[in-house]
Amino acid sequence: MRQFHNARNMPQKNGFKAFGRVRSSGLCCFKAGSISDLIKRLVDDRFVDLYKFGRDPFEVLPGKDVDPGCPNRLAGATVLECKEHAKTLGFEVFGRVRSNGECCFKAGSVDDLVKRMFTDKNVDLYKYK
C-alpha cells in the first residue's frame, strides 16, 4: 500500500478508486479495485475515513448542523457507508458527529433543511446536490 501526504496530487488514472485518510496523521492510503468490491471488504476503523473518487452526489458543509437531535442514526459507519445509507433510505441530508463518528439522518428536503442550518463545530453536514 502506498502512502501519500496529499491526496489531491494522486491522479485517478493510476487505477485508484478510493483512499483512506488517517485522521491523526493525515496520511492517505490509496485503494484499487471496484467500489463495490471495496465496500464488501470494509472494516470498522474509527481512525480512518474512506473516500471514493468520482462524482460525489453529496456536498460537505464542515462545522454545520440542522435540527438538533438524532432520531435516525447509524453508529460505527464510515462516511461512505453513511452516504450509501442515506441514498438507500431516501435521506437528502445527514450530519456526521466528529467526536463519535455517528451519522444522524435528517428528514425533509435539502432546501428546507438548509434554511435551518446552524454552526456546530462537532458536526459536518452532508447534503445531496
CATH number of the domain bearing residue 120: 3.50.4.10
Please give the mean pLDDT across all residues of the chain: 84
Task: Report pLDDT digits (tens) over 33-84.
Answer: 777 778 778 888 888 887 777 777 899 999 999 999 899 999 988 888 899 8
Neighbours of 91 (CB within 10 A): 21
**Per the structure, how many domains does the chain have?**
2
* 75/44 same-domain check: no
Q: What is the pTM of this model?
A: 0.62
CA distance 11 to 64: 30
Structural domain of 9 = 3-52
* 48/66 same-domain check: no
